[in-house]
Amino acid sequence: MLPLFPLPVVLFPGTARPLHIFEPRYRRLLADCLDGDRRFGLLFCADTVNERSMPPGQVGCIARIESADTLPDGRSNIIVAGEARFALVRFVESEAPYLVGAIRDYDDVPESDAELDTLAESVRAAFERLVSAARTVADQRAPVPPLPRDPALVAFHVASVIETPLATRYELLHSRSVVARLRIVSGLLAHAVPSAEQRAVRHQRARSNGRGHDTAGPAT
């Protein structure tokens, strides 16, 4: 059994996410989790869907509370870290004001290591180009943060930091194929990298205006 927090957001394994807790039932969930093992299930639920009508098989991610900052009015800002994925089996009756569910493990299917490694390296290279271009535009010189060595986590990390449609985020969370996830983020990067690098080039040219060689003629 797991306390559940349905939200129109996607938490990926191995990534962190801030959440703002304000509803009374989720204040109680937070308090109960902090008194226990600090874990609850962040279950994707679209804004247009009644949370009680979510079907069996809906996929979520176990969230572990890393930090919690309670405000004077009872609201809280928390940081959660994504752990394993799960699939909803059913909601269970509980005295708690929040939803509680029976869940099952949700693991990837076996795939060729060689293909995974090749795809993961390609995604890493494209991601490095994207982040380098973005930091050039922002005039930042810090090194690009490395992606996880585990190919199964690479797509999750990329999608957590680049602009990704919510439907695509859930598609990634729901996918049990690492190959499929890497191909999806590879497509996102293929679209994002060229425009980011063009912006970086324009930014560098703009910064160099008036700083090039002196082209004035000789003094008379």
In a domain, 177, yes or no: yes
Tokens of 1: 């059994």
User: What is the distance between the alpha carbons of residues 51 and 100, in angstroms, rounded to a whole number?
Assistant: 12
Q: How many domains does the chain have?
A: 2
Q: Which structure tokens are listed for 66?
A: 């890393």
What's 21's domain CATH number?
2.30.130.40
Structure tokens at 116: 């995974």
Residue 6 clears pLDDT 50, i.e. is over it: yes
CB atoms within 10 A of CB 68: 17
Please identify, among 55, 83, 105, the residue that sits at the C-terminal boundary of a domain.
105
Mean of pLDDT over the chain: 90
Q: Is 102 helix (H, G, I), strand (E, B) or coil?
A: strand
HSE value, Cβ hemisphere, 13 Å, CA-based, for 82: 21
Give the pLDDT band of residue 216 (cuts 50, 70, 90). Answer: very low
- Show the DSSP H helices in 69-165 as ranges: 113-137, 151-161
Other C-beta atoms closer than 10 Å to the C-beta of 171 total 16
The answer to whether 40 and 4 have CB atoms below 8 angstroms apart is: yes
Residue that finishes a domain, picked among 84, 105, 126? 105
3-class state of residue 214 by DSSP: coil
pLDDT in tens, 160-180: 999 899 999 999 999 999 999
Which secondary structure element, helix H or strand E, spans residue 72, and what is its range? none
Same domain membership, residue 98 and residue 26? yes
| φ and ψ at residue 21, rounded to 5 degrees | -105, 120
- Note whether 122 and 73 are same-domain residues: no
Which residues constitute the domain of residue 119? 113-208
Q: What is the pTM of this model?
A: 0.86
Instruction: Tell whether 136 is covered by a domain.
Output: yes
User: In 10 A of CB 188, how many CB atoms?
Assistant: 22
Q: Is 82 a domain residue?
A: yes
Residue 218, in any domain of the structure: no
> Does 219 reside within a domain?
no
Per-residue confidence at 211, pLDDT binned at 50, 70, 90? low
In Å, how far from its chain's centre is CA 179? 18
- Which tens digit of pLDDT belongs to each residue from 52-99? 889 999 999 999 999 999 999 999 999 999 999 999 999 999 999 999
